[in-house]
Structure 1
């Protein structure tokens, strides 16, 4: 890497301004030219700048550290939480002189923040990376696009996530070589993201690609995750027998490898399936089974199952149980303020149970704008229809018609039939 690019990278990493780095050495304008590789400075000037940054002028090549970082990244891809956390906490080479090692550490640290659900830190990291991403080589760009796509996926900004995943796939299918497990992981996330966008046909295509690779690698856990996602896709297009078949295949694997987190995921989605079939009691049982298999750090998974329980108890008129689970949901949301979607769901049911007159305005001013802004077309359709029903019951037919039309429009955007 050119010395100017190295200086800019390490300066930004150390949160130094150009003024702080240049002080009593050179002018800020001259430093800017050096950092942009527009001029050749003397060895004496470069040594002074590097000394202030705490790096050596001559870059070392630390291949062993790079291999360690790739192994750490693989732990995160393989969902091995404890070893990944242990590595990060014990890693001693964060202040390396090798710019490649330093950049890959920053990229994989971004993935780590997403992995442990510290999305605020991840967002700060992305902002800093954007200041020097123009110095990345093609492999760095691949990881940047993929990992930022994962960030936006977990922020429920699926359209933005997809743009980054597409860029990553373009690099992946070029001449750059990646391991099979890396290719499968990108395909899995593209399938996952397409699923959330309602593009179910595309989701099935990418998940089947990922599944084929995982099966060839004898990766049972990731194969089971693909079977679960295929089951979700088939459930959404009312192919209930195929959904159950995929869940059964996934259950056999999860039980065979004794993986509670996988079982929790399967039970949740079986609960969703039973809910769709109108079997609330069976759905409630599965949602509870799911929660029993989810660890405390699986925050989003726990909230989804709690939301499922609230919905089912409300359907069958067990309002006390509904309130109890709603309270538990609010406690978790209070601890994790970066998950506004679930806070919205719980407030909605709180208003419903209170028969609050504020419910229509809440849906109109808070709920719909949030889900429209994040391309949650199915949830826009659901809440728009509920608002239409409220206005219809209150003889406000013009408003009711407007929101029923909005619901239909959102369904068209969501449905795989209209892609």
Structure 2
């Protein structure tokens, strides 16, 4: 497999050049077209002249691949795939000097894909954001270089951003690339995404597959992460008693088997169960415990959102405002549009901006959650719209939104 043709095409199109301009005086238009589509034998002299015309380092297209270096990048990528953070961190330190070097496109692609995956598993989301534009814009190159890693990591990224339809599209491609092989990390991400899409049976299927794979490896930390997904699914079907028992049992596991992020996740979901049961004081305690742990703030925006909601219900305006402002700042910092919408809606409700809030929900919030495939969130906002337009004396429109919501969801 060669990436030369695809790389030439990408840089040509990105620079706004036509095939006629690039081929002029170098090769026939037919040859260039076939070259870009990997349908012709590579002529080094031609590729060198094309590189010069595109102002590309010749090393990118014609450089010889250092097999020893390729092996080091492959090993780093493997540690990233299996979520072995200590080794991934160690290999990153050894290879990061290569990030700005001119490398053959085969090595450059693998290095960038590995780098992107590394930022995701090590919770360096701002670095992942910075790299995302390059990753997505160069999909024709990167997805050809390593389709499984590319789609898995892009799917992971979208999942972290709360963009679940986008996530599942890439993760399903990664699963097809995997064929008969098994990647429990991919199964676990799929379990999480399908849970958010309210596909409970599918989510449980993937969580069980991941759990069985981790069990064979005695990888206790990730086995617990699989069980957390199943606990979340108990919540989603309304079995809060089973969920609470399940999460409390997980907390009792020997501390060496739980990372801080995992404990924070468990405390958050115990708090969510308590919130759903209306036991707000216990929920506040659990949510505060969640925020005491050392983890990426963007992963626990829902903790802050639920705290803001509770404080508002209790009439604690100062605490509510603080939590909304803090949550919005984090959501904007990490470009987490889902929570930008959620915090803004809550703020506008508190400020009683009826007409602007109706417009905001109708024009931005509801279309976002509809396109994102989150049925539960969508029903929340349909119901809220039904309430608001009823207050605005638009009774027919109100009835239409209540029909869409169907049930009294927490809003």
Instruction: Return the alpha-carbon distance in structure 2 between the equivalents of residues 292 and 379 of structure 1.
Output: 27
Counterpart position of 1:117:
125
The alpha carbon displacement at 1:191 in A equals: 0.6
Q: 1:257 to 1:135 in 2, by over 3 A?
A: closer
Match status 1:406 vs 2:411: no
Q: Residues 384 and 59 of structure 1: is their aligned pair in 2 closer, same or farther, counting only changes over 3 Å?
A: same
Is 1:252 matched up with 2:252? yes
Q: CA deviation at 1:301?
A: 2.3
Q: 1:71 aligns with which of 72, 76, 98?
A: 76
Q: 5+ unaligned residues in a row in structure 1: which ranges? A: 412-419
- Aligned to 1:170, the other structure's residue is in SS state helix
Provide the C-alpha distance between the structure 2 equivalents of 1:89 and 1:346, rounded to a whole number of angstroms: 41
- Shift of residue 270 of structure 1? 0.7
Cα separation, 2, equivalents of 1:7 and 1:170 = 25
**1:355 and 2:352 matched:** yes
TM-score by length of 2: 0.83
Alignment equivalent of 2:166, drawn from 151, 160, 178: 160
**What is the aligned counterpart of 1:92 among 93, 97, 111?**
97
User: Where in structure 2 are the equivalents of 1:265-284 lying within 5 Å?
Assistant: 265-284=265-284
Q: Is this contact kept in 2: 1:319–1:353, CA < 8 A? A: no
Aligned equivalents of 2:44, 2:350: Cα separation in 1: 73
Residue 238 of structure 1: SS of its match in structure 2? coil
Q: Is the 8 A contact 1:330 1:346 kept in 2?
A: yes
| C-alpha displacement of 1:129 | 2.7
Match of 2:394 in 1: 396
Task: State yes or no: 1:169 paired with 2:175.
Answer: yes
- The residue that corresponds to 2:35 in the other structure is 34
Change (3 A) 1:78 1:231: same
Which residue matches 1:131?
140
> Which residue of the partner structure matches residue 340 of structure 1?
337
Q: 1:291-310 residue pairs with structure 2 within 5 A?
A: 291-295=291-295, 298-310=296-308
Gap change, CA 1:133 and 1:232, over 3 Å in 2: same
**Following TM superposition, by how much is the alpha carbon of 1:108 offset from its aligned partner in structure 2, in angstroms?**
2.0
Give, in whole Å, the separation in 2 of the partners of 1:301 and 1:222: 17
Residues 46 and 324 of structure 1, relative CA distance in 2, 3 Å threshold: closer
Separation in 1, partners of 2:378, 2:207: 26
Of residues 53-62 and 238-247 in structure 1, the stretch that sits farther from structure 2 once superposed is: 53-62
Whether the aligned pair in 2 keeps the contact of 1:59 and 1:98 (CA below 8 Å) is: yes
Query: Contact conserved, 1:221 with 1:254, CA < 8 A, in 2?
Result: no
| Distance in 2 (alpha carbons) for counterparts of 1:201 and 1:41 | 50
Match of 1:321 among 292, 298, 319: 319
Q: Whole-Å Cα distance in 1 between the matches of residues 294 and 46 of structure 2?
A: 56
Distance in 1, matches of 2:90 and 2:305, equals 29
Number of matched pairs: 397
Change over 3 Å in CA distance of 1:16–1:60 after alignment to 2: farther
TM-score by length of 1: 0.81
**2: CA distance between counterparts of 1:129 and 1:314?**
45
